């Protein structure tokens, strides 16, 4: 018996995305997975790129210009106004508190979570006093913790821009997410750092898809491409971040493994890397309280030089 092909939606679904090459690659992946899951033709989904504030302002660190909201506010508005039906995001760039009117309806299977070191083969072979190009507080603090001799230089812009800046000698080494490089088909670039020595950012490597909370039809379609282990890990990492009260200035690194039972290892730092507090916890998927408890333990053990960058659990 052959199953009839489900009809495509009555009109093309409009998928909103930022317009950087990485965001566009993520949007195509989301579209491909959605049409494949439902047996639709590719033109059942139309990709609509938006220029996000975060992409317009390139000369200052993200943390100084308004933080992660700069990646989402245009797409949030488009969703709210019905200009698009769903939006795709790097979950790493999505604030921990989202508007109630929006729902993260699908998380695609998490890609390689590791950071890749470019310009040296290992942390230990980075030349003494080398300049690390990064504007991420987590990458800067974690590097200074391991290699206090390294100098940090600000480095913003999309993946290609950062690689070009490195090439031009603005820094000696840089760090990029393996997931992003992979999605841009730059797989030969750099050397991945293992989680045993170097922790990624919360939700690194995960693509999230949001739609309006009251759009039951869209939520139903998107649920077909939701990956349960990724959802368990990413939601736990977001619960940790929420309970830490972290902002874009907060140096926090975390990695969660598992699906039904999760193992979470998290570290918080002082921005100068002098202090590092790291703890691990094991808990069941969906147990946000356990992730919050890990956050409280980290903060309780952190010296002021670390905890001052975190506001703690929301009241």
Ligand X SMILES: NCc1[nH]cc(CCC(=O)O)c1CC(=O)O
User: Which spans of this chain sit near ligand X (rule: CB under 6 A)?
Assistant: 90, 92-93, 159, 176-177, 179-180, 204-205
Residues contacting 52, CB < 8 A, separation 6+:
18, 19, 70, 71, 72, 73, 74, 75
**Is the Cα torsion angle 94, 220, 49, 73 positive or negative in sign?**
negative
Structure tokens at 97: 């508190």
- DSSP, collapsed to helix, strand or coil, labels residue 144 as helix
Nearer to ligand X, 90 or 307 (CB): 90
* Spatial contact of 215 and 85, defined as CB atoms under 8 Å apart: yes
Q: Report residue 295 CA to chain centroid gap.
A: 19
Residue 212 CB, shortest distance to ligand X, in Å, is 24
C-alpha dihedral, 62 to 174 to 193 to 232, nearest 10°: 20
Closest residue to ligand X, judged by C-beta, is: 180
Tell me if residue 93 is catalytic.
yes
Residues contacting 117, CB < 8 A, separation 6+:
123, 126, 173, 175, 190, 191, 192, 193
Of the listed 76, 85, 93, 227, which one is catalytic? Answer: 93
Query: How many CA atoms within 13 Å lie on the side-chain side of 177?
Result: 25
CB atoms within 10 A of CB 205: 25
Concatenated DSSP letters of 184-223: TT-TTSSEEPPTTT----TTTT-EEEEEETT-HHHHHHHH
Nearer to ligand X, 131 or 212 (CB): 131
Concatenated DSSP letters of 250-307: --EEEEEEESSEEEEEEEEE-TTSS-EEEEEEEEETT-HHHHHHHHHHHHHHS-HHHH
Nearer to ligand X, 84 or 159 (CB): 159
Residue 288 CB, shortest distance to ligand X, in Å, is 22
- DSSP, collapsed to helix, strand or coil, labels residue 45 as strand
Nearer to ligand X, 90 or 270 (CB): 90
Nearer to ligand X, 184 or 211 (CB): 184
Residue with the two structure tokens 């109630």 = 100
Nearer to ligand X, 92 or 165 (CB): 92
**Residues marked as catalytic:** 93
């Amino acid at each position: 018996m052959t199953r009839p092909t489900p009809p495509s939606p009555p009109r093309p679904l409009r998928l909103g995305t930022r317009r950087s090459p990485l965001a566009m690659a993520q949007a195509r992946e989301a579209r491909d997975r959605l049409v494949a899951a439902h047996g639709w033709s590719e033109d059942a989904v139309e990709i609509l790129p938006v220029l996000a504030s975060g992409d317009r302002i390139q000369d200052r660190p993200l943390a100084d210009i308004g933080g992660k909201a700069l990646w989402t506010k245009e797409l949030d508005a488009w969703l709210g106004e019905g200009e698009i039906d769903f939006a795709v995001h790097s979950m790493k760039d999505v604030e921990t508190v989202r508007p109630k009117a929006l729902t993260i309806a699908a998380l695609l299977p998490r890609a390689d979570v590791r950071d890749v070191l470019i310009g040296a083969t290992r942390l230990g072979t980075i030349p003494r006093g080398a300049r690390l190009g990064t504007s991420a507080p987590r990458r800067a603090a974690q590097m200074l913790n391991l290699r206090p001799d390294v100098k940090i230089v600000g480095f913003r812009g999309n993946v290609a821009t950062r690689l070009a800046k490195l090439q031009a000698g603005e820094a000696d080494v840089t760090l990029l997410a393996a997931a992003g490089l992979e999605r841009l088909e730059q797989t030969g670039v750099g050397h991945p750092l293992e989680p045993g020595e170097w922790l990624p950012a919360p939700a690194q490597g995960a693509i999230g898809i949001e739609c309006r909370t009251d759009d039951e039809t869209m939520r139903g379609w998107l649920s077909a491409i939701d990956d349960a282990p990724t959802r368990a890990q990413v939601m736990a990492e977001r619960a940790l971040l929420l309970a830490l009260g972290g902002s874009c200035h907060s140096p926090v690194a975390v990695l969660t493994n598992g699906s039904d039972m999760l193992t979470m290892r998290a570290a918080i730092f002082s921005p100068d890397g002098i202090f590092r507090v790291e703890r691990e916890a094991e808990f069941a998927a969906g147990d946000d309280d356990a992730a919050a408890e890990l956050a409280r333990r980290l903060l309780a053990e952190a010296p002021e030089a670390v905890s001052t960058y975190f506001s703690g659990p929301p009241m």
